[in-house]
Structure 1
């Protein structure tokens, strides 16, 4: 064989620098492939001959995401609860404010009503005093007119009337008459027995009580508490009544001189008046 003949070489072909491909697992849903190559691989380098699978990170990340979602949900629940509590507190505050305003309104209305009642009571009291004053003036005027209408003996008649009242009211009767006269001008209030307000039978009972005579409380019983006497034969201290004996609805005290004192009604109070002003039905004598 010629020495120039080619002799196959037993040396293996020189391999280029190997490439190693690293295939990573799915991380966050993305498949990543990492290639690691030699610094200067020739153009005719051999294909990749090794693949290394990297471990997946999916399980750990899923747990983290789950914990994060749970924490986020707890925060959301806490905020929702806080919002509900704030709304409830605001509603309660509004309700309390409304209730307070209503209570203040009612208190103000009550105060004004009380003021109006007091004013009305004062006005009624003033009107009552004025009525009593007018009544006394009218009675005095009537008495003077009756005295003045007489003939030349009018002065004598007036004098006789006064003296008759004074002279006839003696002893216990005088005390009864004096007590009744002291109450003229007092108020009339149904059921009252003094000391500043009376009803008709209350005044009569009190006048006789202060001399030790115990009379019944009501007019019906007072009208039969003594001896029946004629209206033409009256004496000071006799009890006058209006209505039937035993069913009378009003009583008063005869004071002499054709006059009586009695608690008439709420508009007049206790007055002294002529028998002609309000003629009685009958009379009884207890003294």
Structure 2
């Protein structure tokens, strides 16, 4: 026996082909599994890279949207501000218009009040004058003989007044004295009713002198004369020259004839009864 016979051989036992094939298959399966896992791991690991690449795009879009939203907000704010300014202007204009209307109404009320007051004063003056004339006319009807202060005495002195006038003046005076007692009618031109200027016009027409129809024009129809230098036949006027509201005829001896008003009609009265403002001479 060999001296090495008791030592186990170090040679590896031979493996069968089936064992090798099986081991190769197992190894291949393991490798395949590892390959699949590695591929899967690579895919999973790649996803963050893909997301990271897309982030800049998402960020840019978001910035654009934010900028656009800011523009829209700014435009809306500007629109609201403009509308607010327009509303404020409209409110201010409405307030001013209301104030102007109130002021206009106030002025209109004051003017109306002043006009009414003036009308009342004028009516009172007319009533006072009418009352005085009515009293004078009543005195004439009762035959009062108080001298130049009464209508009756003026009527009784008509002959002396006429006797002091000659020619055309006498004819004018005779005509107006013949109408004493006729009615007063606004716009009247005879033969039985007159207004003041209608009577004067008709009287001077008797001597072929054409006078204007209204008292305003008659007060400037001739030469202006002073009331202290009157002559029979002069035209007396009340009011201003060119703006007279009444006319009559001076018949002499401080007397005149005129169509006064609806209460007295045509009367002959002293100048003191209703002192005239001026006179004109056309004869």
> What TM-score do the two structures reach when normalised by structure 2?
0.52
- Closer, same or farther: CA 140–118 of 1 in aligned 2, 3 Å: same
**Residues 273, 161 of structure 1: alpha-carbon distance in 2 compared, 3 angstrom cutoff:** closer
- Which residue does the alignment assign to 2:77? 83
What residue number does 2:167 align with? Answer: none
TM-score between the two structures when normalised by the length of structure 1: 0.51
Identify which of 102, 106, 114 aligns with 2:100.
106
Is 1:4 the counterpart of 2:1? The answer is: no
2:255–2:268 CA contact under 8 A, matched in 1: yes
SS at match of 2:211: coil
Root-mean-square deviation (Å): 5.3
Q: Is residue 2:131 matched to residue 1:137?
A: yes
CA drift at 1:99: 1.1
1:57 aligned counterpart, secondary structure: helix
Partner of 2:281: 284
Q: Which residue of 2 aligns with 1:182?
A: 184
Contact 1:177 1:253 in 2 (8 A): no
Q: Any gaps of 5 or more consecutive residues in structure 1?
A: 28-54, 184-193, 196-202, 263-270
Matched residue count: 218
1:177–1:139 distance in 2 versus 1, CA, 3 Å: closer
Q: Which residue of 2 aligns with 1:173?
A: 176
SS at match of 2:8: coil
Aligned counterpart, 2:24: none
- What's the secondary structure of 2:249's corresponding residue? strand
Query: 1:280 & 1:62 partners in 2: Cα distance?
Result: 108
User: Is contact 2:257-2:268 (8 Å) kept?
Assistant: yes
Say if 2:126 is the partner of 1:126: no
Sort the Cα spacing of 1:170 and 1:224 in 2 relative to 1 into closer, same or farther, 3 A: closer
Partners of 1:241 and 1:281 within 8 A in 2: yes
Q: How far off is 1:67 after superposition?
A: 0.8
Against the structure 1 CA distance between its residues 214 and 205, is the aligned structure 2 distance closer, same or farther, given a 3 Å change threshold? farther
2:232 pairs with 1:239:
no
| Residue in structure 2 matched with residue 32 of structure 1 by the alignment | none
Pairwise CA distance, 1:260:
3.5
From the two aligned structures, give the one with the greater helix fraction.
2
- CA drift of 1:130 comes to 0.4
Give 5+ residue unaligned stretches, structure 2.
16-26, 163-171, 188-194, 259-266
Post-superposition CA distance 1:50-82 (Å, at most 9, x none):
xxxxx5533322112111221122122112211
2:68 corresponding residue in structure 1: 74
Aligned equivalents of 2:128 and 2:156: distance in 1?
26
- Cα distance between partner residues in 2 of 1:10 and 1:165: 190
For residues 71 and 277 of structure 2, the distance between their equivalents in structure 1, rounded to whole angstroms, comes to: 94
Q: How has the CA–CA distance of structure 1 residues 109 and 70 changed in structure 2, closer, same or farther, with 3 Å as cutoff? A: same
Deviation at 1:85, TM superposition (A): 1.0
The verdict on how the C-alpha distance between 1:273 and 1:9 changes in structure 2, with shifts beyond 3 A counting, is: farther
- Distance, in Å, in 1 between the alignment partners of 2:268 and 2:119 is 20
